[in-house]
Chains A and B, each alone.
Chain A
Amino acid sequence: MMNSYIILLLGMALVTYLPRMLPLVILSEIELPPFWKRFMLYIPSAALSALIFPGILQATDSVFAALVGGLAAVLLAYFKFSLLTVVTASILTVFLYQLLF
């Protein structure tokens, strides 16, 4: 039983590791053309946006709690608080919101 699970886990590990490893090893040695360099610079903003929305709406038990927590994070980040502060304050906000409403 466990043996067949080992094969499954190794298979999953391999197909997860390769897409992480190959681009890192291969591309770090290559000088990219300007177009693709700029493309790479734009990836973080695009990826963060897709990672946040609409996933955030289901992050907590209610959409409103998630929106309030998200708003707290945006405000604190806008005023340049540290990431740890942003995260902790957002958790606290959601916690309090759920406690009160």
Chain B
Amino acid sequence: MSQESMIEEKNGAGSQHFHRGLLAGLPVAIGYLPIAVAFGVISRTAGVPHLAAVLMSLLVFAGASQFVAVELLAAGAAFPGIVATTFFVNLRHILMSATVSRKLPDLSRSWLAVLAFGITDESFSLLSTDRRSRLSGYYVLGVIILPYLAWVTGSLVGVMLGGQLPEILESSMEIALYAMFLGLIVPEITSSSSRFKIALIALLLSSISYWNPLFDVSEGWRITLSTATAAFLGTVIFSGDDYDE
């Protein structure tokens, strides 16, 4: 454990950070619930053993790839192919983990190895847009724990009950994660004109890869390539004109 986290633990600041993290992670947990229930239901329909579906949420904890895996299982795909697809769908986490690492310079390797399990599109969004330049390990732990519990519990509920939440409620709740992304991007791009332009470039690239009639781009690659290209172009174009931080 690093020096800072030991000091935190001594004076109780650790638990304060942890509680703040729990609160920050709450919107993510709310957003995960309906998706996790849907995952459980789909796994059940696809004939995946109940235990395997819940274990997948417990061990993998990555929504997009889990849906793809169940789809492939239902289609009778071979296991090595499913593992390979999972790898490619989740490659975007490299970019996200790398970005989050800038905020965690004080943590020991074992701390980081634990927290890494909780890096998702959503926790990355919360952590990387945080105004503080350094984050406490306890805070990050708090951020990831409720979403993880919601993900596993929701999957269990979906697998056990098989039924849906009322259609209208489920459909409304699925806006939650997008609302959160919007809630995070608005302060980012209104405080800096270069970030605003970079967001526009990413939007354009994402739309092109989604709608172009020439080639199919999977969701994972669409997000990874649009993000990396837009950020790279931004770094080249806006060399230091508003290096706010």
| Residue positions of A touching B, CB distance < 8 A | 1-2, 4-13, 15-17, 19-28, 32, 35, 37-56, 59-61, 65-66, 69-70, 72-74, 76-78, 80, 83-84, 86-92, 94-95, 98-99
Q: Which residues of A contact B56 (CB under 8 A)?
A: 9, 12
In the complex, 12 of the A-B residue pairs with CB atoms within 8 angstroms, ordered by the A residue number, are A9-B52, A15-B86, A16-B93, A19-B91, A24-B104, A24-B116, A53-B206, A55-B219, A56-B175, A90-B175, A95-B169, A98-B168
- Which residue of A has the minimal Cβ distance to B230? A46
Q: How far is the CA of A86 from the CA of B37 in the complex (A)?
A: 23
| A40 CB to nearest chain B CB (Å) | 5
A39-B235, A49-B230, A86-B183 known; A24-B175 Cβ under 8 A: no
Contact B113 A53 (CB under 8 A): no
- What are the interface flags for B167-178 relative to A under an 8 Å C-beta threshold, 1 for contact and 0 otherwise? 111011111111
Contact B199 A49 (CB under 8 A): yes
Query: With A8-B79, A24-B119, A70-B178 given, can you name 16 additional A-B contacts, CB distance below 8 Å?
Result: A2-B49, A9-B59, A11-B86, A20-B117, A21-B112, A24-B104, A35-B235, A43-B227, A46-B198, A46-B201, A46-B231, A49-B200, A50-B230, A53-B203, A84-B23, A86-B183
Contact B31 A87 (CB under 8 A): yes
Q: Which residues of B contact A46 (CB under 8 A)?
A: 198-199, 201-202, 226-228, 230-231, 234
Contact B60 A77 (CB under 8 A): no
Contact B234 A12 (CB under 8 A): no
Give the number of chain B interface residues (Cβ < 8 Å): 103
Contact A87 B181 (CB under 8 A): no
Contact A25 B186 (CB under 8 A): no
A21-B97, A27-B98 known; A83-B175 Cβ under 8 A: no
Task: Give the number of A-B contacts (CB < 8 Å).
Answer: 291
Contact B223 A51 (CB under 8 A): yes
Q: Which residues of A contact B99 (CB under 8 A)?
A: 40, 43-44, 47
Q: Which residues of A contact B167 (CB under 8 A)?
A: 61
Contact A11 B83 (CB under 8 A): yes
B107 within 8 A of A: yes
